Every structure is written in structure tokens, then in C-alpha cells.
Structure 1
Amino acid sequence: MSVLLLQLAGPLQAWGASARFARRTTESAPTKSGVIGLLAAALGRERSEDLADLAALRFGVRVDQRGTPIRDYQTAHHFETGRSMPVSERFYLADAVFVAALEGPDDLIDELHQAVRRPTFLPYLGRRSCPPSRPIDLGVRQVGDVERALEKEIWRASRWYQRRYGKPSVQLETIVEATAGDGPVDSIRDQPLSFDPHHRRYALRGVRHGHVEVPNPAAPQLSDHDPTAVLGGV
């Protein structure tokens, strides 16, 4: 098994697991359905195509920079009649950074890696109005599983964000797909079954919340300077 790592960073992101009418919310971290959709687009798959192989990948995400929730109102008019449509309320995450990990067979992970580097359709972070601000590709890791890959990856937060933490290491939240034998888990309806616009379908998926500790590259460095050294001869 290999693990594909993706960097999800942009001015705005929106990862909705549910939406009701004109209210479009976002989860606090990327959803599996959203990231699988990004990969399917990179491969050039149509929305009506089978995605069982992608849905079978084990998914995890690390919150490197939590971001700020914001709300936006959008208006629209019917093209033919000119009649005003209902005002829609949309939520986003601003200035967030995540590391997503997908674990699966070596050949499929390699195919996805090549697609991310040369996507057929341009990637976006949950919605088409949310383009990435950094390269998405972080490469493939041969480290065993999602947990290990997220633990070993360097902290990807913005430099200004890292400087806010004076300690040499930081704890980052992880949300990893649960496996058989895991203890109590949470659930989210973001397991994609079909992206067909006429019949989108999603199932519940178990997730486990945890933390990993990673070094802070912007932490102040301890100096070897000894101010009393000049007094040694006194």
C-alpha cells in the first residue's frame, strides 16, 4: 500500500457534507467526497462514471492551519424571465491549510499522483469558486498507512502562522477514516457512492479524531552564546 499526500491551501475553501436549499455550509476540514471529486476530475472522469475504486481508498486529513469561517450572500436572476431567485447563504473557510492523505494499492496511487501533477480538469477546493493557492501535489509516501504519513509530514501552515507559536513543536488535529476494531468513532455522510448530477448519493463513514506532534520550523532557535564567557579570566 502507498499513501498519496495532497496540500489543500487557498484563500477560500468549502467542504460541504450536507446542504439544505439555499443554505450551503462547510465542514471544518476537507471531506472525503470533496477530495475524491478532486481526484476524479484530475483523472478526467465524467460525473456519471463508476468511482468505486476511488471511494475504496482510505482517507485522512491533518489540520495544519484551521482558517476562519466566513459567510457570504449570493443573489441570482432567472435567465429567461429575469425573476429574482432566492438569496443563497454560503459558508467558507478563509486562509486554511490542510494535508490530505489517501491510502491504497500502489498502481492506483501512482495513477492518481500522475493525474494530480497533470490534471485533466482543474482542481478546486470544494467549490469551483475556490482555486488552490499552492501546488496540491506533495508526492507519494511508502510509510505503511495514513496515520504514519500524516505524522511524518512537515508542518505546511503559512510562515506567519507558524511564527505565532514559540514552542519547537506543535500538536495538529487529525481526522482519519476508522477501521475495523477501532473504539468509539464519529460519523459523517461523505462516503461518495455516485456523483451523477441526477442522483448524487453519499453514505455514512466512521472517522476517528486524534493529534500528531510535528516540529515547528519557525520556532526561535536556542543560541550557544554564553555572555559570561568573557569573565572566565577574572
Structure 2
Amino acid sequence: MSVLALRLAGPLQSWGSSARFARRTTETAPTKSGVLGMLAAALGRDRSADLSDLAALAFAVRIDQAGTRLRDFQTAHHADTDKAMPVSERFYLADAVFVAAVAGDDDLISALHAALRAPVYLPYLGRRSCPPQGPVELGIRDGDDPTTALRDEPWHAAEWHQKKHGKKASVLLPAFAEAVAGGQRGGTVRDQPLSFAPSHRRYALRNVVSISIDVPNLHYRPDKHGKPTSRRPPVPVPRHSPEALLAPLPPQFPLDGH
């Protein structure tokens, strides 16, 4: 057993677990079905191919940078009739960064790792309009628990985001993992893919627990007293003196005209 770690970052992401007519929402973190769909595409599998081996992978995801929620309105026309379709409302996550991990058989994990390095179909973050920023794969880790891999993974948020938290030696990052037998019972989400066939997509329920993962902040900057400080000292702001404009005129400019 081994674990494949993934960095999911890009200008826009959208991970919907449900869609209602013209309203397409996004979850706050990547879904298992969305990540497995990306992996299946990298392998070059057809949408109607068997997913049982991928669906059996253990899955966990960590929110390294939550990003900002955006709403967009889109119009479209039918390809055959050119009839205008209803305006759709779609939601995205902007400037978000996630670290996901899947665990399973060594051969399958190795095949997924190789596929992400040379994908048959280019990966995207939930929707085709959301390409990733940089490589997706972070490498293969030893073990059989994706949650443990996330605990050992450094903070992958953008540098500017980490510097915003420079007063903290470590940060608590929210994460979501699959519930294990005999462990904490979480909530249920319809996010276990059974088929990606366009004519009949099917998803089963799975149990998900919320956890927090403490990771060190490499941009933590304590001062000599042990108190956090910024890397650069603040720039002094000169005092504004509007009364300087009311200074008396020099003697060579008399006011009486003589």
C-alpha cells in the first residue's frame, strides 16, 4: 500500500457534489468523485469504463488556502437547434489551494503517478474551464492512510498567504477524511462514484469526518523577545503639516504693491 499526494491549485476551481437545473454550486473542498474523475482522465479511461479500482481508493483532502467564492452567469445555445438555453448560475473558488491524498495498491498508485506526469487527457480542477497551476502530483508516500500523509505534508499555500500568518508558528488547517469502521462517525455525502457514463452517472453515499491538521509555518518570524514580528520593519510615515502652506511670504514679495 502507498499514498499519492496531490496539490490542487489554480486561478479557479469548482467541485460540485450536486447540481440543480441551472444552478451549479461548488463545495468548499475537492470531492472524491471529482478527484477520481481527474485521475481516470489522466489514465485515458473512457467515461463508461469500470471504476471499481479507483472507487476503492481511500481519500482525504486538506484546505491549505480556502480562496474566495465567486458567482458567474453563463449563457449557451443548443448545438443542433441554436436555441438559447436558460442562463445558468455557476460558482467557483478563486485562488484556493488544496492537498489531497489517495491510498491504495502500490501498482495502481504508481500507475496514477505516472499518468499525472504524462496524462492522456489534461487534468482540470472540477470543470474544463479550471486548469491547474503547476504540476498536480506531489509524489508517492509510504503508508496506507491518506490522513497520515496529509499530517506529514508541509503547508502548500501561496507564499503571500503564509506570510499573512507570520505571527503564528503553526496553523490549524481543516481537512476531510473518510470515516473508518469503529471510528468517529461523520456526515454522509453522495460522493462515491459508481459510473461516469454521461447517460447515467451514479454516485453512492460515503461517510466523511472533519478534522484539523496542525502544520508548521515556515514564514513565522519571532523577534528577540519571542514575540512575532514581520520580516521588514514598518516604513515611517512623515507627519502631514498643512500649516506649512500658510507660511508668511518672503520680504521680496511685498503685499502693498510697492
TM-score (norm: length of structure 1): 0.93
* Bigger relative contact order (CA 8 A; separation at least 6): 1
Partner of 1:67: 67
Partner of 2:121: 121
Identity of aligned residues (%): 62
Name segments (4+ residues, structure 1) moved above 4 Å: 221-224
CA distance in 2, matches of 1:89, 1:20: 10
- C-alpha RMSD over aligned residues: 1.4
Aligned AA for 1:48?
A: S
> Is 1:177 matched with 2:185?
no
* CA shift digits 1:152-196 (9 cap, x unpaired): 101000001001112111110110011111223111111000000
Aligned AA for 1:197?
A: P
Aligned AA for 2:214?
A: E
Partner of 1:228: none
3-state SS of the aligned residue for 2:182? Answer: coil
* Correspondence list, 1:85-234, <5 A: 85-165=85-165, 166-223=167-224
CA distance in 2, matches of 1:223, 1:129: 48
Answer yes or no: is the 8 Å Cα contact 2:179–2:185 preserved in 1. Answer: no
TM-score (norm: length of structure 2): 0.84
* CA shift digits 1:16-73 (9 cap, x unpaired): 0000111101000000000000000000000000010000000000000001111000
Deviation at 1:85, TM superposition (A): 1.2
Partner of 2:252: none
CA distance in 2, matches of 1:88, 1:78: 14
3-state SS of the aligned residue for 2:175? Answer: strand
- Give the gaps of 5 or more residues in structure 2: 226-258
Deviation at 1:81, TM superposition (A): 3.7
Deviation at 1:223, TM superposition (A): 4.9
Aligned AA for 1:17?
A: S
Deviation at 1:143, TM superposition (A): 3.6
Indicate the structure (1 or 2) with the bigger Cα radius of gyration: 2
CA distance in 2, matches of 1:164, 1:127: 30
Give the stretch that moved more between structures: 177-186 or 47-56.
177-186
Aligned AA for 1:217?
A: L
Aligned residues: 225
